[in-house]
Amino acid sequence: GGGGGGGGAGGADDGGALVRSRSQSVSVDGGDTVALDKVAFQQLVELVRANTPRKLVVAGISRSGQHELSPLFDVLVTSLKTGTNLGMTVLDISDNVMSPKAFQLLAEYIGSSGTFGVRSLRMANVSLQKNAAAGVTKVLEAVAKAGASQSSLRELILSGNAIKGPVAAALAALLKSAAGVLTRLELRRCGVLELGTVVRGILDGKARDVLRELDISDNDKQTLRQPEHDAIAALLARATALEHLNVSHCNLNGKVLGDVVLPAIAADSAMQLTLSRNFIGPPGGRAVHHAVVHRRVASIVSLDLNDCDLTDDGVAALCDGLAQGATALARLYINNCFRGTSSKSARHAAVAQLSALVHGSACPLEVLHMCGNADKEKTQLRDDIVPFFVGLGSNEKLLELDISGHKMGNRGAVALASALQLNNALGALYCDENGVTALGFNNLAQALEHNCSLRRFAVPILDVGAVAKSAPKDLPVIAAALQKIQLALTRAES
């Protein structure tokens, strides 16, 4: 239908892959392991030949090289010459084994288009074949040349490809000369990432003033050294439009966070900083404390420290700093960051500082995720979480709270229920894997009869399942409580 040409939808019955054509869009879902059979692949080629779609997604249809993609790109080039091209805006060829000929034809299609009209180019995991780097380089060079005068490219995804040597140089040239509207660049799991080369391309060209999101997460196969540290600092200081930097799982430590990352953040940028799965430890919590107190990171609006092993001491330092300093922080993620020690006072201090931040400070915090790990006892607050609920009843800022995985039991559930009975701000609550039984569910249901703000309460399915095993006779009681909770949510929604 639409601009997809005269072909209808069809697919490979034995492979599970599906070709869809709708509203000038053609997409293929190759599944996790299987791809199109020959008949369905030919159908795809003919569909594109009939009328080049504005959106073409052919991700994962040639993971093991069973389909040569060059016929498809040959059709694209031909469509330019025959006048059937409608101006493609989305092209996704991710997760395919690409031959040199396929790369050559893709580059030819891009180079023949005059001005590059594709808004989203997704080429993740296409350099798996030997010598594929030369093909990736050729495509990036074509994009840079075609977009030199005018480019519509807003999103570029190159994750899973080694960004080094000629590939890194071609990407830098693209960023420098043809990225006047590029707002998102994703370079995840690259194995090798020449970050300095990429950042120089951003800062020396048009991307510096328009790039909003850079994702370099999961590049944990290489150690970030001084050149990479300098590149990150320069990026944060000079990329004027940057709003979200994702350096999750990149071997950052607390010292680098404190000495390099935080001091470089521009004072006037509304920054979302994702640092999850880096072992920054207690020094990371202290680094944030120092930066906030000295007004270096007042502009951070979202801070993701999930799985950073802050420990109780680090959480206490982090929250104390955020409570003291002037900050715009609206979203804080510290899942699996508590880690108890032999000192009970450290745990109490962490909960006390967290309570002071959320309930008693000027910090405009709206979203707090502070899960424990149900499989790691030291990350669970258990009933030490109860003091946190004391201030929740009068809290007027917090809109979303996730306290899953802390094994707080019915004592925690009763304390939470007392807070919810008074709270008129919280709109979303997640609290599974807390060992809550019928008593706790009943208390929550009764509390929500007096609550007018909570609209989203994820059913604690794992806790219900645990009760089904240990006390199946209580399941009707829990079902009735959950029904009451749902009625309360519906009332609040209306």
What b-and-e string marks burial along 194-222, b requiring 16 or more CB atoms within 10 Å of the CB? bbbbbbbbbbebbbbebbebbbbbbbbee
Angle at which helix 438-448 crosses helix 475-493, to 10 degrees, equals 20
- Is the CB of residue 369 less than 8 Å from the CB of residue 332? yes
Of 24, 36, 42, 57, the closest CA to residue 124 belongs to 57
> Tens of pLDDT along 436-461?
999 999 999 999 999 999 999 999 99
Residue 445: alpha-carbon gap to chain centroid: 33
Q: How many CB atoms lie within 10 A of CB 178?
A: 24
Q: Which residue has the tokens 């869009």?
A: 25
HEC assignment per residue over 39-90: HHHHHHHHHHHHCCCCEEECCCCCCCCCCCCHHHHHHHHHHHHHCCCCCCCE
- Is the CB of residue 11 less than 8 Å from the CB of residue 44? no
Helix (H, G, I), strand (E, B) or coil at 311: helix
Distance CA 81, CA 212 (A): 36
> Tens of pLDDT along 166-225?
999 999 999 988 666 899 999 999 989 999 999 999 999 888 899 999 999 999 887 778
Of 441, 463, 459, 455, the closest CA to residue 489 belongs to 455
The DSSP element (H or E) to which 383 belongs, if any, is none
CB within 8 A of 207, min separation 6: which ones?
Answer: 175, 176, 179, 182, 185, 201, 239
CA distances from 248 to 84, 125, 158, 163, 223 (A): 43, 19, 17, 18, 13
Helix (H, G, I), strand (E, B) or coil at 401: strand
Q: Can you name the residues that pair with 55 across neighbouring β-strands?
A: 25, 90
CB within 8 A of 406, min separation 6: which ones?
Answer: 371, 372, 380, 381, 382, 385, 412, 433, 434
- Is the CB of residue 180 less than 8 Å from the CB of residue 209? no
CA distances from 408 to 339, 387, 433, 463 (A): 15, 12, 9, 11
- Helix (DSSP H) and strand (DSSP E) numbers for the chain: 17, 17
CB within 8 A of 252, min separation 6: which ones?
Answer: 224, 261, 275, 278, 280
Distance CA 261, CA 216 (A): 14
End-to-end CA distance of the chain: 38
Of 356, 359, 413, the closest CA to residue 383 belongs to 413
Q: What is the DSSP string of 346-360?
A: HHHHHHHHHHHHHHH
Distance CA 402, CA 429 (A): 6
Using the 8-state DSSP alphabet, how is residue 267 labeled?
Answer: T
pLDDT in tens, the chain (494 residues): 233 333 333 333 333 344 444 445 556 544 433 345 667 777 777 777 777 678 888 777 766 556 667 787 777 667 655 656 557 788 888 888 788 888 888 888 888 765 567 899 999 998 766 678 999 999 999 988 887 666 788 999 999 999 999 999 999 999 988 666 899 999 999 989 999 999 999 999 888 899 999 999 999 887 778 888 999 999 998 998 999 999 999 999 999 999 989 888 877 778 999 999 999 999 999 999 988 887 767 789 999 999 999 999 999 999 999 998 778 899 999 999 998 766 788 999 999 999 999 998 999 999 999 999 988 888 999 999 999 999 999 999 999 999 999 999 999 999 999 999 999 999 999 999 999 999 999 999 999 999 999 999 999 999 999 999 999 999 999 999 999 999 999 999 88
Distance CA 459, CA 282 (A): 34
